[in-house]
Structure 1
Amino acid sequence: MESTLGAGIAMAEALQNQLPWLENVWLWVTFLGDPKSLFLFYFPAAYYASRRVGIAVLWISLITEWLNLVFKWFLFGDRPFWWVHESGYYSQAPAQVHQFPSSCETGPGAVLGWLMTPQVPMERELSFYGLTSLALLLGASLIYWTLFTLGLDLSWSINLASKWCERPEWVHLDSRPFASLSRDSGAALGLGIALHSPCYAQVRRAHLGYGQKLVCLVLAMGLLGPLNWLGYPPQISLFYIFNFLKYTLWPCLVLALVPWLVHMFSAQEAPPIRSS
């Protein structure tokens, strides 16, 4: 593992010091690869291209991120920005790597999320989504407290991130491990609420043209963007509640409210059909 991390540090040094003009490009790539971008960009784009594909993307995103969280608790992966200081490998010749706001994550590293499944649940009873959300919350919490009871300090990554991040303001609450849990459980519940909402019932059988789908995507991005960049409460417990509610609202906007608004305005603007 040390050789893998060392190779990653060497590559980061080469990219940062030899190709500094690509800094903004790599920051943009990092942003697009962030798990939150799955909810912000890829889920709405996939849904307006195909409802089935969009719902599948959401399911795969939240299940993969949940598994990623749990596996990281067991594997204790390091983040490069603290590993270069803690490992002792660079005590003689410090690594010439720079930190950025996106690199100061507080959760463990290493594990990559992946999921292969032939099908996902498309439309079930509302209770199914509520129970799924509850299972995600209780399952991860049970694993966390079991490991904590066994004497494992699962806050070790938060302590290292706070210790070695160059700027304290870069250590964001939304990079904490339980932030992804509140995001995933909220999205699961929000999906059920959206699929059983009156707005979705009105547009479920409606056929939206390519222009209408494009308008839906633009409008959804216009609503999700400010929602994503809203400030967070400084208290940890309030932050988790706020994050849960925010991502509960997320599927409701994409699946129900935005298509309903576009469909209603399109129906009002359509010229009446004259009988001959």
Structure 2
Amino acid sequence: FSQYEDFLAAVTKAFDPKVLFLTVIPVVAGLSTTLYSKLLLSVLLTEYANTIVKWILAEDRPFWWLNETKEFSSLNRPKIYQNELTCEPSPGNPSGHLMTSTTYLFVIFSVLEEYLGKYGRTARVTLRTVYYSTLFFISISRMYFGCHFLHQCIFGILLGIVMSKVCLSHRLEKYIAKQSGMRRVAFVVLICVVMLALYWIQKLLGIDPQWAVKMAFKWCEDPFYLKPTTTLVFSAIRLTGSLMALAIVGPIQKAKPLNKKLSVPMVAAMMAFEWIALDYTPRNYGVVVYFLYSFLLYFLFTYAYLRWVPALAGLEKSKSN
């Protein structure tokens, strides 16, 4: 597959959960507030589930397993190819790329399938072929760079499909929307308590919750490949900030149509500002400041996409309606 490395690298980068969250998903906010809300809820709950399951299963990634396992001796131990996409400091199962992408694409393709339903079976078959082909190429790219084993990719897809079905349930969305803002915030706090409990239970059992970070540092050929934004702790902070904003605003089941000439450039400007703000994340003032800044950043921008974009770019219904 070496001749296709550039293509596989592009696939891995394009479907990185962080990239999806900072680029592709916000674009939807400029097109439809309702769809953005639905997509945001689905992806956030899926990523939370991914983080929790990873902590529970605590499985190795190929790039350090090959060096740690006793299946090989020093004479026949294979050497795995590494680059900046390989060294992720989090447990390997299930694949976050596959689980998140499965849910994200499921939501998008469900909307497209409904919209293109007038074209009949051909449109449906085409969309599903593209859907599964995309997941196939993501799986190949993750295995090629030594990020995941095959079973971790398959498990990520299966869990992603389950989460898609759950999150797209109208009952779930209606139930969450009916709750008061305080109850929704309490639910987010409960999720945080569960994650903190998992963290400390591992410590009490003599398991280092940061073991995957240490394995990545130990076996990554270049420590500069490692990024703190790919750790489970940072993922939890990022998700909590965005989910807290969604909890305060609430799932938006009905919203005014957007004036695309205004909403699209508005969202583009906000996305650019968010990337700039991320580049200026304070890294020399301790982990508390780093995490607090990240939490507030994701909270504010998610809130802005949900509340400010429809407020400033929403079209008023005509009196005749």
TM range, smaller chain: 0.7 to 0.9
Is 2:183 the counterpart of 1:128?
Answer: yes
- Give the distance between the partners of 2:47 and 2:256, measured in 1 at CA: 32
Is 2:163 the counterpart of 1:163?
Answer: no
Share of identical aligned residues, percent?
24
- Per the normalisation by structure 2, the TM-score is 0.66
- Per the normalisation by structure 1, the TM-score is 0.75
Structure 1 segments unaligned to the other structure (5+ residues) = 1-14, 268-276
* 1:149–1:79 distance in 2 versus 1, CA, 3 Å: same
Within-5 A mapping of 1:195-214: 206-214=256-264
- Give the distance between the partners of 2:14 and 2:279, measured in 1 at CA: 15
* 1:223–1:75 distance in 2 versus 1, CA, 3 Å: same
Q: What residue in structure 1 maps to residue 126 of structure 2?
A: none
Q: What residue in structure 2 maps to residue 245 of structure 1?
A: 296
Is 2:14 the counterpart of 1:37?
Answer: no
Q: What residue in structure 2 maps to residue 181 of structure 1?
A: 236
Q: Is the 8 A contact 2:30 2:266 kept in 1?
A: yes
Q: What residue in structure 2 maps to residue 81 of structure 1?
A: 63
- Give the distance between the partners of 1:167 and 1:123, measured in 2 at CA: 50
Q: What residue in structure 2 maps to residue 63 of structure 1?
A: 45
Q: What residue in structure 2 maps to residue 107 of structure 1?
A: 90
Aligned residues: 241
Deviation at 1:145, TM superposition (A): 0.8
The RMSD of aligned alpha carbons is 2.8
* 1:205–1:74 distance in 2 versus 1, CA, 3 Å: closer
- Give the distance between the partners of 2:178 and 2:68, measured in 1 at CA: 48
Whichever residue aligns with residue 60 of structure 1, its letter is S
Q: Is the 8 A contact 1:133 1:186 kept in 2?
A: no
Structure 2 segments unaligned to the other structure (5+ residues) = 100-159, 317-321
- Give the distance between the partners of 1:78 and 1:207, measured in 2 at CA: 46
Is 2:280 the counterpart of 1:225?
Answer: no
Q: Is the 8 A contact 2:64 2:215 kept in 1?
A: yes
Whichever residue aligns with residue 209 of structure 2, its letter is L
Work out which of the two has the higher radius of gyration on C-alpha atoms and give 1 or 2: 1
Q: Is the 8 A contact 1:195 1:256 kept in 2?
A: no
* 1:177-213: CA deviation from partner (whole Å, max 9, x where unpaired): 11111111111112244569xxx9xxx9654233334
- Give the distance between the partners of 1:122 and 1:86, measured in 2 at CA: 48
Which structure has more relative contact order (CA 8 Å, sep 6+)? It is 2
- Give the distance between the partners of 1:230 and 1:23, measured in 2 at CA: 31
Name the SS of the counterpart of 2:283 in structure 1. coil
